[in-house]
Structure formats: structure tokens, C-alpha cells
Structure 1
Amino acid sequence: MTVFILVAGAFTGPYVWRDTAAYLAAGGADVRTVALTGLGKGAGGPAESVDLETHIADVLAVIDRAVAEGGGDIVLVGHGYGIHPVLGAADRRAGAVARIVHLDSGMPRDGVPALAAVPDQRLREELAEGGGWRTAGELPPPARDGWSRWGSTAGVSEAALDGLTALAAPQPLGTLLQPLRLTGAAAGVPVTGVLCTGNGPGIELVQLMVDLGEPALQALADPRVTFFELPTGHWPMLSCPAELAGVLTEAAAGGGHRLKAPGTAGPPPHLRPFLLDVPERPRERTGNTDLYLPDGPGPHPAVVFVHGGPVPAGARPTPRDWPTLTGYARYVAGRGAVSAVLDHRLHAVTDYGRAAEDVADAVERVRADPRVDGDRVALWFFSGGGPLTADWLAAPPPWLRCLALNYPVLAPLPSWGVPDARFRPVRAVAHAGSLPIVLVRAGREMPEIAATVEEFLTEAARCGADVEVVDVPAGRHGFETLDRTAESREAVHRAVTAVLKRLERGGPTTR
């Protein structure tokens, strides 16, 4: 028999597991829900006396009771904040735990408090500053319309949201501020991640981040780590309890998707060859920018290519040497325009400000080059570089003849919290005026990214923006190195032709 020990997230208690626990029990499992002190079983003393260690002790007590009763293999399930006391307890009872399940939760590290995992960046700042909460020793639960600051409520019924709000309890502040202490004793315990794609990345995006070399994520490619997806928001025990119970049962049996470690199946997707056989061209490297020059004296129009991300700071090669960027650059230079490819400092979702500075600086250097016609420039953005288009959409300069986007992220993903409101292309497109936009849409896009593209196109249609969509129906995110098909090659030809057409002499220079 499997013993599931379920630990709820912030502000909540055992009641959130009611339906999921019933489904698990009906399948023959022993299900135990942990009542965390101050949340599920009364305060048990002043709020300031309750911290993360208190909650770790709560989980340990349930583990020890299950071991004493000889129930079976123990599977610890931590939802959101709940993964912190789960990991703390597993570290001290590693020999007793068969599996740890991260249910729509992060990857806490030794010495880092749960505060770091709060999804809303502004709320993190408010909590760090303390304010009146420092005196009270606890954080009041969200109002009914405030739960989204802690995770997407997609799929949660109105009645369930009412119940969640009515039963919520204040969160003792010490549970968020006290650092988690781990010795590494539980490193060998198998792990499962259940990703709720209505609230954060799915398996495909996690694999992409692993492929990019993000150091903190390399452990996810261990064969002892499995993944499942649920197409719902942050509270699957409320939105799809039967499906969650099924996933937990499969996880306990060792099922799930396993990620590929970089290099085990050839080059990672972003380092595979470009889909077109484009002749090599000389390039000039200055600082963080490479120039690919066309034949003839010029001045020529220019296309500046802006990579996506976030990309780990230590990733090698850097994006300007990735085949997609160099392939486009050589192809465009061969068709008569200067190509510029730059590295920028988008290493985390909090880095869009400095990445935007890098892009703006590079654009001005390119425009100032005597071989470039500074009044005929296009900017071409990829993937997670999409939010950087917001500045250019909000106030297009007269020399910007076209803005292109390939499989872009065009609104903050739910897991990003609330980044700078400046980087929201969905809002900025209303100010684009007559700026031509070429958008390359992958038909097999990751759902969480596809949703932002559709939101952008809906807003663009509403405000009458000039958008040409180049569809790649069978294409995936990063199709230029993943899908070497006639359809994909034709899409590249169409997109490049559309951009270069906007750079022809005599085109509009004012908006």
C-alpha cells in the first residue's frame, strides 16, 4: 500500500485535499493530510512563535506515525509553500520516504526562505519590507479576488473559490522568512514534478531551459525525476481532483515523463543546424554585437536580431553564435541588408530592463555605422525576447520600418508573477500606429506561449494594427532547428521577404 502524506500550501489546510484524498483512498491508498500549525489546527500559540521549523515538525510527526504503523511506501506531496516543510522533513527522514512530489511548486534550496518562491514580485518586496505584518507576525489570507497573486485560479469553480476564501487562515510570517535548511540527505529520493500549465511552464518549456544549461535545473534530467502536466491553474485539488489523484497514483508507481540530459541525444535543439543551407559570410564582432555585411558599398538597410530567453549567464555558446540567429543573419545579408546579432543580459525574468538597454544601445551603434542606412531598420525578436518589443510598439521611431517576431512570448507567463508593467506587448500594440509587424506563429507552440500570441493578435485586430502573420502549422517553438521541412523553409523565406519588403526605399518614414 502507498501512504500519501499531503501538505497544503499557504493559507490553507487539510480541507483542500478532501476530494483528491477521497479518490486516492478509493483506489486503495492510505491518505494522510497534514494540519500545519496555525493553518489547519489552530494557532497553537502566538503567530510569531510559528516558523518553518514548526511546520517541518508537523510533517515529521505524520511521517513517524506512518512508519510506526507500518503502512507502506510513503509519498510526500507538497503543494506550493507546502514543498518547503516537505523537503525539510524528507531531509531528516530520507530513509523513510519513497518519493517526493512537487505539486505546482518550485525547487527550494538550502538557505533560501519560502519568501523567494512567492510568485508575485511586488508581494515579495512588500513581504521583505515587512510593514505592519512584522508587528502582527502573520500575513492575512487573500480576499476572494486576491488569490491570483498566489497562483492562477484557472479551473476553480466559483463555489470552490468561495470555500477557499472562507476557510483560509493567516500565514505565520516566520514560515515565509525562515531559511530552509537542507543537508542533502534526501538527494537520492525519487522526485516527481506535477506542472500545472495554467500557472506556469509545461514539460516542453522545462526541457528547453534544461537544454540551455540553466545550472539550477540540470538535476531535473536525473532519471529518478519524472514529470506530469495538468492543464489547470495552481489549485488542481480543487479544479480537477480526480485527475490529480490519477497523476499522484502514477507518480507513486514511478511513472511520468523523464527529461533528456543535454548531450545525450546529440546537440540540444537550439544548437542543431539551421534549416536552410546558407553560405557562410564574414562577420565583424564588436563588443556584444556581430555585423554581417551584404555585397556592395551601401548604405544598406539593416535588420537587428534579438534573441530570446532567459538564457543562463554561463551558457556557451552565447546566443549570437546559435545556428538560428547566424542562419537568419547570413540569409538576410545575402539578400542585401546588413544583419546585426547581439548578446543581451536577459538571464532571468527580472532582467528585461537591462536587456532593453543592451538592445537600444546596439541598435544605435548599428544605425550609426556608415554602411547602414539609419532610416531603414527592422528589429526581429525571438521567443522570450518578445516582451522587449513593448518599448518599440509603444513609441515607434520613424526609422523603424518593421518589427518582426518569431514564436514570441507577448504577455508575462503566469509563473513570472508581476514583472515590470513596461514589458507587456499586448498592451503596447495599441500605440503601434502604422508600424508593420510580421509575426511568425508556430502551429505546435507550447500552450502557455500560444495563449499570449492569441491575446496579442486579438488586441492588434481591435486597435487596427498592421500585422502580417506567417503561419507554420506543423512547426514547433524554435522550428528553424527542429523542423527541417518544406513548410518551415517556406515560412522562413516568407518572413524574410516580408521584412525586407518593408525596408525598401520609398517606404513610410513617419507614423
Structure 2
Amino acid sequence: MATFVLVPGAWLGSWAWEDTARALSERGHAALPVTLTGLGERSDVATPEVGLDTHIDDITAFVMEQDLRDVTLVAHSYAAVPVTGAAGRLGPRLERVVYLDSAPFTEGTRLLDVMPEDVVDQLCAQVAEHGDGWRLPLPPFGLLGAFSSIEGLDEDQRDLLRTRATPQPFRTFEQRLTSPAEFGPDVDRVVVACNDAKALLDAALPMLAFLNQSPWRHFHLPTGHWPMLSRPVELADTLDEVVSSVR
């Protein structure tokens, strides 16, 4: 049995993991979804000061306060940034880190750095016009699809995303990572790539070259960027395979 700490991406709370967490539990695992400060059911504590460091603290505290050990830390999308920061604080409690359609960030980088400049401009406009200058509502699907594939989401799943997504404190996108993890040799390092990410890995881009080398392991999930919504049971199957397969 593995202990999964499931960290959702931008605009999401623990609700996004419900079906996957249930399927993992049915397979005998402990599946513990996290809601980061200012999102989901914690949207009432959102402030302009909530930033990347806040979310790094959230993840670290979640593991420490519950005294979790042998943790498999799963980072979806934006969560790659705070998970990379938190992983370095967990020491021997961390058994494995799984980047779900995401990748680790290096020191001094921020989420906006990996987006096209025109997309960043449009997101900043959304913050200014609809987010009181500090919150980013879920963008329209036309803009969202420019940097996060919505492949595989049917109309019901899109409606769920529209209605349950909460505005993201924009400082979490703007703040740069100052304390990236230096994974110890015993930490299993995994990428679960959906279709677009797999295409990037297959293209052997120089900036992602390290992910194609040992000790990194790859798994493919054929869907878009939101697999916990589009393929939740298949995602659980993949995570089960991750922890049961030999490194």
C-alpha cells in the first residue's frame, strides 16, 4: 500500500481528485487530496498575499502534521512548482515524487516563465479586468486550451470545471521558486505525461533532456491536461502501476 498526497493544479481544490482518490482507495492505497490556501473550500482565506511560498508551506505542513511517511507526492500542473519546493523539506518522509503532466522547476523560475508571452499578457488582462488586480479566474476555454489541453473533457466535465473552479491568487504564478528540491538518490522520480507532454518529451527538447535520463521514469496517459476529470480511473490505474513497478 502506498500513501498518495494528491496536489491539484491551478483553480482546483481537493474535489478534483475525488474519483481518482476513491479508485486508489479501492486498490488498497491511502489517497489524501490537498486543497491549497485560497482555493476550493479554502477560497474564503484567499488574499493578495497568498503566493507560491504559501502553497509550499501548505504541502509541507500537510505531510508533517499528519506524520505521513513513505509519501508519494503527486503534482498536477501548477502544483509542480510548490511540490518542487516542498519536496526538499520532507527529507526521508518522501519516497516518490510524481509530476502529472508537469515537470520540476529550477531555482528562480515561475509558472509564467513556461507560458507563451501572448498568453501571459491575456492572463494579466484577466486579472486586471475580472480579478481585482490579484486573482485569476478560470480563463475561457479558448484561452485555457492555448496552454492546457482540454482534450478528453466532455460537456459535463467542462461544466464541472467551470462551476467548481475558484480564482487562483495570481501571486502564485508570479513568485519565483527560491528553494527547489535536491532529490536524494533514494527518491523515485516519475513523470506521468498526458498527450501534449508526451509529445514534448518525445521531441527531446534540450530543456527537458534530463527527464529522458535515469533515474526518471515515464508513464503515458492518453488524454488531455486534466486526467483526474477526463480519465480518473485510468489515472488511478497508472498511479497504482507507478508504485507497484520496479524502478
TM over 0.5: yes
**Shift of residue 218, structure 1, vs aligned partner:** 3.6
The question of 1:41 aligning with 2:41 is answered yes
Cα distance in 2 between the residues matched to 1:244 and 1:126: 31
1:499-510 matched pairs, under 5 angstroms: none
Gap change, CA 1:26 and 1:172, over 3 Å in 2: same
Instruction: Name the residue aligned to 1:12.
Output: 12
The question of 1:98 aligning with 2:62 is answered no
1:16-95 matched pairs, under 5 angstroms: 16-45=16-45, 47-66=47-66, 68=67, 72-95=69-92
Q: What stretches of structure 1 of length at least 5 have no aligned partner?
A: 257-511
Instruction: Name the residue aligned to 2:120.
Output: 124
Amino acid at match of 1:48: P
1:35-434 matched pairs, under 5 angstroms: 35-45=35-45, 47-66=47-66, 68=67, 72-118=69-115, 120-127=116-123, 132=128, 136-143=133-140, 146-186=143-183, 188=185, 189-197=187-195, 199-202=196-199, 206-209=201-204, 214=206, 216-255=207-246
Gap change, CA 1:159 and 1:129, over 3 Å in 2: closer
**Shift of residue 149, structure 1, vs aligned partner:** 3.3
Amino acid at match of 2:234: E
Amino acid at match of 1:147: L
CA contact (8 A) 1:88 1:182 kept: yes
CA contact (8 A) 2:39 2:46 kept: no
Instruction: Name the residue aligned to 1:461.
Output: none
Cα distance in 2 between the residues matched to 1:130 and 1:161: 20
**Shift of residue 129, structure 1, vs aligned partner:** 7.8
Gap change, CA 1:88 and 1:44, over 3 Å in 2: farther
Q: Provide the aligned C-alpha RMSD in A.
A: 2.4
Cα distance in 1 between the residues matched to 2:123 and 2:139: 14
Gap change, CA 1:93 and 1:153, over 3 Å in 2: same
| Secondary structure class of the residue paired with 2:42 | coil
Gap change, CA 1:30 and 1:229, over 3 Å in 2: same
**Shift of residue 132, structure 1, vs aligned partner:** 1.7
Amino acid at match of 2:240: T
Gap change, CA 1:209 and 1:162, over 3 Å in 2: same
**Shift of residue 141, structure 1, vs aligned partner:** 1.5
Gap change, CA 1:127 and 1:230, over 3 Å in 2: same
| Secondary structure class of the residue paired with 1:111 | coil
| Secondary structure class of the residue paired with 1:11 | coil
**Shift of residue 168, structure 1, vs aligned partner:** 0.7
| Secondary structure class of the residue paired with 2:99 | strand
Gap change, CA 1:63 and 1:46, over 3 Å in 2: closer
Amino acid at match of 2:23: Y
Cα distance in 1 between the residues matched to 2:180 and 2:145: 33
**Shift of residue 154, structure 1, vs aligned partner:** 1.1
Cα distance in 2 between the residues matched to 1:40 and 1:156: 20
Amino acid at match of 2:112: L
- Identity score, percent: 34
Cα distance in 2 between the residues matched to 1:117 and 1:25: 34
**Shift of residue 15, structure 1, vs aligned partner:** 1.1
| Secondary structure class of the residue paired with 1:165 | helix
Cα distance in 1 between the residues matched to 2:233 and 2:35: 22
CA contact (8 A) 1:144 1:162 kept: no
**Shift of residue 44, structure 1, vs aligned partner:** 4.8
**Shift of residue 12, structure 1, vs aligned partner:** 1.0
CA contact (8 A) 1:141 1:170 kept: yes
CA contact (8 A) 2:13 2:34 kept: yes
CA contact (8 A) 2:86 2:181 kept: no
Cα distance in 2 between the residues matched to 1:233 and 1:152: 5
- Report the structure number with the largest CA radius of gyration: 1
Report the structure, 1 or 2, having the larger helix content. 2
Cα distance in 2 between the residues matched to 1:112 and 1:128: 18
Gap change, CA 1:129 and 1:109, over 3 Å in 2: farther
Question: Deviation digits for residues 42-66 of structure 1, max 9, x if unmatched?
Answer: 2354521100111111111221134
Q: What stretches of structure 2 of length at least 5 have no aligned partner?
A: none
Cα distance in 1 between the residues matched to 2:197 and 2:179: 26
Cα distance in 2 between the residues matched to 1:175 and 1:228: 28
Amino acid at match of 2:118: R
